A and B are shown apart, each in its own frame.
Chain A
Amino acid sequence: MNRPLLTILSALVLAAAIFGASYWTGQRGCLMCHAQSTDNLTWLRDEFHLSDAEMARIRELHEGYMPKCMEYCAAIAEKKAELQSALAGTTNVTPQAQAKLAELAQLRAQCQANMLQHFMTVSQAMPPAEGRRYLAEMQRLTLGFHEELEQSMASMTNMPSARQ
């Protein structure tokens, strides 16, 4: 290998090492700073530029919502266990299993309605534009997941999706 080529290759390796080391340092430093925060509402404050007063109000709403959310979680988990018991050892969907499925679906629907109501209440505690953006984003992240799943399944089977 001639000398100029060796010089250039060595310079490239050194440049990559400098860039890589500084990139890694910057990234790790930033992550370590953020890791110190354990507040579940950090994203809200940073993403929607909320004031201290708005954050206090939203935190109050969040803490009021959490017990109801946990109740629904417990009820759904219990209903799922009942459904699994109803389905265990059978080769058909028995009337009992059908009833459990219906109850589980109803519980989930109630939970979703409760969740969406919470999102709307929180959005009203924000400045109007940020509130609309929050609501749209939360609906996309929660309800939109199922739409994407259905569309991907419809495209795989070439059937129209439920949305169309």
Chain B
Amino acid sequence: MNPEDQKLSSLLRQSKPAPSLPPRFAEHVWRRIEHTPERSATWLDTLAAMILRPRIAWATATVLLISGLLLGVYQGNQTARQADLGRYLASVAPSAVR
């Protein structure tokens, strides 16, 4: 590049004026941020926020775990009872006479 061109570029950069900020610019920006209307939370937002709270999440998980176990044990008992009944019935009342 021509050294004269380099000098010219440098001069042009120096002469380009940087725009000055208006007075109390920062204060105006913060005021606009404060007055910006918030998006109203929908019921989904509320529900999701509630779910993500640790206490509620742990409590729900504990309740599900215990209720699942209890229901499983109850169902297992019922199934085992039916199996025991079937075994007794097969021993005393063969299908030929039922």
Which residues in A have some Cβ–Cβ distance to B below 8 Å?
A: 2-5, 7-8, 11, 15, 18-31, 34-35, 37, 40-44, 46-47, 62, 65-66, 69, 72-73, 76, 108, 111-112, 115, 118-119, 138, 141-142, 145-146
How near does chain B come to A34, taking the closest CB pair, in angstroms?
Answer: 4
Indicate whether B9 reaches chain A with its CB closer than 8 angstroms: no
CB neighbours of B64 from chain A (8 A): 15, 18-19, 22
Interface size on B (CB < 8 Å)?
40
A109 to B49, CA, bound (A): 71
Question: When the two chains form the complex, which single residue of A8, A27, A111 contacts B76, counting CB atoms closer than 8 Å?
Answer: A27
Q: Could you jot down 29 A-B contacts, CB within 8 Å?
A: A7-B48, A18-B68, A22-B65, A22-B67, A22-B68, A23-B68, A26-B68, A30-B80, A31-B80, A34-B77, A35-B80, A37-B84, A40-B88, A43-B81, A43-B85, A44-B88, A47-B81, A47-B85, A62-B92, A66-B91, A69-B94, A76-B96, A108-B96, A108-B97, A115-B92, A115-B93, A141-B98, A142-B89, A142-B97
A41 to B64, CA, bound (A): 36
Indicate whether B8 reaches chain A with its CB closer than 8 angstroms: no
Not counting A4-B47, A30-B72, A46-B81, a sample of 12 additional A-B residue pairs whose C-beta atoms are within 8 angstroms of each other reads: A4-B49, A26-B68, A27-B75, A29-B72, A30-B73, A30-B80, A34-B83, A40-B87, A43-B81, A43-B88, A138-B93, A142-B89
